[in-house]
Amino acid sequence: MANLKAIRKRISGAKNTQKITRAMKMVSAARLNRAQQRILAIRPYAVKTAQVLAEVAAPHGDEDGGSGSSVDHPLLERRPEKNVLFIVITSDRGLCGAFNSSILRAAERLWREREAQGVNVKFAVIGRRGRDYLRRRGAPVLKNFEGIWERLDLEQARGIAKEVLRPFIAGELDALYLVYNEFKSAMTQKVVAEPLFPLKTPEGVVERSKKVEEWDRDREFLFEPDRGALLERLVPMYVEITLLRALLESMASELGARMTAMDSATKNAAEMISKLTLDYNRARQAAITTELMEIIGGAEALREA
């Protein structure tokens, strides 16, 4: 009977776990729908902002018909990449499959590769999972952002932008890279490592966004009041919108990965319950058979006596 009690306890535990995983799947599915809507709303805006900024920052012929000229801006300066910051976006919680492990393995691989090339690498981490992973490996964490996922909005992205741009403007960093999971579907997330600064060329921006819009490179632009004033507004806007988009992509990817993981866990729990129930019935049948054999044996012994 002790074996039967143990099996009943395991069945009860599996059923409780199944209730939890099913509830987590439903919550993730509901939140994923809202996250997808936010991504669809911000993607065209983020792509167009990057395109316009790349066009404004590119060299143009000046009004006097001279050769190409460019506008100086501290955030558009290009330097040899000797000091690099990777902005790694992870989640605060687990139970989301390979969401965190895939992004962290990619970040560590980039770290080791750059170090082998003689580049000084630092990290800015969003999410407790990334913080703990990198600290255990002795990674140089310049900044850890906490509480981002509790209220994700443009203000949060603006605060992150100020923190990561300060060392870049001071010349302490030569390049900033975003490392995050781009949302494809509930079952598919793609690890992306793309430069935030220095800014991509207009051709590079176009190549990244061909699916959104075809960009006519022969189009003429008139800048009003002037390119310098536009850059003062466009550069901060580009940073904030790009960071917000990466955060939203990561949030949707996390919810999709958690929904998929909880769906698999729910199915596995159902299979385990089915198997344990079968084991329980077999053990119960064996116990009843043993008891019957003992009763019959005792009766036969009494009869012979």
The residues annotated as belonging to the active site are: 96
What is the three-class DSSP state of 83?
strand
Q: CA 277, CA 260: separation in Å to the nearest integer?
A: 26
CA distances from 111 to 49, 99, 196 (A): 29, 19, 17
Q: Which helix (H) or strand (E) holds 11?
A: helix 2-57
What tokens appear for 135 in the block? 């600290």
Q: Among 252, 253, 129, 126, which residue's Cα sits nearest to residue 189?
A: 253
What is the three-class DSSP state of 137?
coil
CA distances from 93 to 110, 157, 166 (A): 23, 20, 29
Structural Rg of the chain based on CA atoms: 29
β strands within the chain, DSSP E = 60-61, 68-69, 83-89, 120-126, 141-145, 175-185, 188-197
Q: CA 4, CA 8: separation in Å to the nearest integer?
A: 6
| Cis, peptide link before residue 195, omega less than 30° from 0 | no
